[in-house]
Amino acid sequence: MLIVGIPGNDSLDEHNKFVTNHGLEDIPQVPDLTGELWSQLGVTSQPRWVLVRADGSVERGGGGIPGDIVDDALSPA
């Protein structure tokens, strides 16, 4: 599993501040300055998460990712 942050709807400077303030430096970040990725993933606001599984299925939600979804995503297929 790969976790990637996709900050959007703000300046690159604000993205960097958010990452630093929340201790997210170890997670790869792909700033979405145009909103294109957010749109493609169905994200409308933060904090949101999107889980794209290997089979192409997608789950979405707000706030933290529920533990049962993380456990299921990490389980071997």
Q: Give the pLDDT confidence of 44-54 residue by residue, as tens digits.
A: 888 888 888 88
Domain ranges of the chain: 12-74
**Cβ distance 32 to 40 under 8 Å?**
no
Locate tokens 């389980």: which residue? 75
Question: Can you give the pLDDT at residue 77?
Answer: 63
Render pLDDT for 3-31 as a digit per residue (tens, 0 to 9): 888 888 888 999 899 889 988 888 899 98
Q: Of the candidates 29, 73, 39, 38, which has an alpha carbon nearest to the alpha carbon of residue 54?
A: 73
Angle in degrees, CA 25, 50, 56, rounded to 5: 120
pTM: 0.70
